A and B are shown apart, each in its own frame.
Chain A
Amino acid sequence: MSTVNNSGRALPWALVTPALGWTLLFFVLPFIAMGFSSLTAHEGGGFTFANYSQFFTDPSYWRAMVNSLQVTAIVTVVSVLLAYPFAWILAEQVPERWQRLALMVAVLPFWTSYVVRSYSWLLVLAQNGVINRTLTGLGLTAEPLQLANTRFATVTGFVHFFVMLLTLTIFANLKQLSPSYRKAAADLGAGPVRTFLHVVLPLTLPGIMVGAFLTFVLCIGDYITPQILGGNNELLMPQLVMMQIGRRGDFPLASALSIILMAVVTVAYLACARWLKIERA
């Protein structure tokens, strides 16, 4: 991008300083405050590492991180496996002029309120909700199944959201693929299955991984879905963080747990970035 350099120094800085200042004041500074807070004692306020050591020594805290990682891993894998064929059908089987509409319809529920979407799943999965009433009505089960307030419910709520998100990213990926690759594969004698496995799939893999990473980041930091659908039977990390603030007003411990959560995401990012060679645009 070409730039002009004939103006004085003052104007460009006047343009970018408000945004930079805002980011420093309300993003970087809070982060520093959280770092300091995490190193102070809840009672008395002296310097301490206790908030961090509590996480590593108390098994129930540690458990929340394990739960979070398990749920996130299950959600990411299931969402990708469900979304890929769906995106492929939209991109390959649906006539060109209907594709935009098909995609818009598919992501329509995406735009309901996030809180409401989780609540809607509660309606479906509750003890006397739609699924259980249908099952008992058809005589398939005698007793209603325990679907709500379980890990299954949390995973279902998450998968619902991320199938929509991943369908968008994978669809975009499939469309960007030049048709000449497929033509070349066909010319060289590959059937549709081989073309897909050896040409289409490898070429869309980087896009899938970016989508999967986005799923990981958004999923592991979310409080609403596990709180509404999973309940308090098993805690995930965001629930643990919110619990420190809500019940006990323990900001230092909540800060420490937030920083640990962010560290895990950062490690995942660095691992992914190296493995996938994601370059910042």
Chain B
Amino acid sequence: MRQIVRIASWIYAVTVYGFIFLPVIVLVLFSLQATSFPIPPFTGPSLRWYDAVLSDTRLTSALVNSLIVAILSSAAAVTLGFLSAWGFARFTLPSSALLRGLITLPLTVSYLIIGMGLLVLFNWAGLPKSLLAAGIGHVVINLPLCFAIIYSQMGDHQINIERAARDLGAPEWKVLLLITVPVMAPAIFASFFLSMTFSWDEFVISFLLTRFDTTLPVEIWNLLRSGLNPKTNAVGSLVFAVSIVLVVLFELTLLRRKPA
């Protein structure tokens, strides 16, 4: 009986892994295609489509745009999230639960609707579509995340260290910069990298709020109009590689906290 469960488990697990990896393997494999269609039979390996991607200035500038938007919007989201988390964790504020609920509220609304709302607002205010507009949207989706992560990590033992610093005469800003930020560094880095991956991958808000200069997911979307194309495979594989690097950084920052 136990043996049957084991064998069945193996078969099931391998099947699910196969289902999960099938599209990624096909994507990466046919990015190395030598001919013009990313469909069987495989004619590679060839790096010509990676060449095509790296010499396409629209794609490379979209990649740079994506990185800039991801870094700046994540930095803004983490800063706002950290300051508010500190405020709510350390001080008694009236209707604190309600205000914390307000900050985390955007988590429950789909990106499409957040983007639509900003589009209508900016349209009324006469603000043009731009990377800045998309970046504002990315802060909206990432701020609740950063706040929630950092707020949940602010424990009592950290309060005692801060209290000790205050007793020894440190002013509030020194406590913040020299005590709280270093102590909270793992949570701050984790939320920063998580925000980066979300911003890096975000499509619909950027699609609605940018026009000429745009982010990489939107530019990839534009590529899709030309149908199946190994160039799209190559871009996709590169994006995958960047995301993996971000995830590994995220894992490392989380692991750094473990031994404590």
Contacts and interface: CB of A to CB of B under 8 A. Distances in A.
Interface of A: 1-5, 7, 11-16, 18-20, 22-24, 26-31, 33-34, 37, 82, 85-86, 89-90, 93, 104-106, 108-109, 111-117, 119-124, 126, 128-130, 133-134, 137, 160, 163-164, 217-218, 220-224, 228, 238, 241-242, 245, 251, 254-255, 258, 261-262, 265, 269, 280
Contacts of A31: 117
B259 to A, nearest CB: 16
Interface string B169-213: 000100000000000000000000000010011011000100000
18 contacts: A5-B91, A16-B83, A16-B88, A26-B136, A33-B121, A34-B116, A82-B16, A86-B12, A90-B13, A93-B9, A112-B24, A116-B235, A120-B27, A128-B39, A160-B19, A221-B113, A223-B203, A245-B116
Contacts of B27: 112, 116, 119-120, 123
Interface footprint category on B: 35 or more
A60 to B, nearest CB: 20
Contacts of A23: 102-103, 105-106, 140, 143
A219 to B, nearest CB: 10
Given A23-B143, A86-B13, A116-B235, 13 more contacts: A19-B81, A22-B140, A22-B143, A23-B105, A26-B139, A27-B117, A33-B120, A90-B13, A109-B20, A111-B244, A123-B39, A123-B233, A241-B112
Contact of A163 (B19, B102, B200): B19
Contacts of B9: 89, 93
A1 B153 CA distance: 11
Contacts, number: 246
A201 to B, nearest CB: 16
Contact of B21 (A22, A109, A245): A109
Given A93-B9, A111-B247, A117 B217 contact: no
Interface in B1-55: 5-6, 9, 12-13, 16-17, 19-24, 26-27, 30, 37-41
A30 B109 contact: no
Contacts of B128: none
A227 to B, nearest CB: 9
Given A16-B83, A111-B244, A262-B113, A123 B38 contact: yes
Nearest to B2: A192
Contact of B239 (A20, A113, A128): A113
A164 B20 contact: yes
B92 A3 contact: yes
B84 A20 contact: yes
A114 B203 contact: yes
Contacts of A160: 19-20, 23
Contact of A224 (B17, B90, B204): B204
B220 A108 contact: no
A116 B220 contact: yes
B228 A241 contact: no
Contacts of A115: 203, 217, 220-221, 224
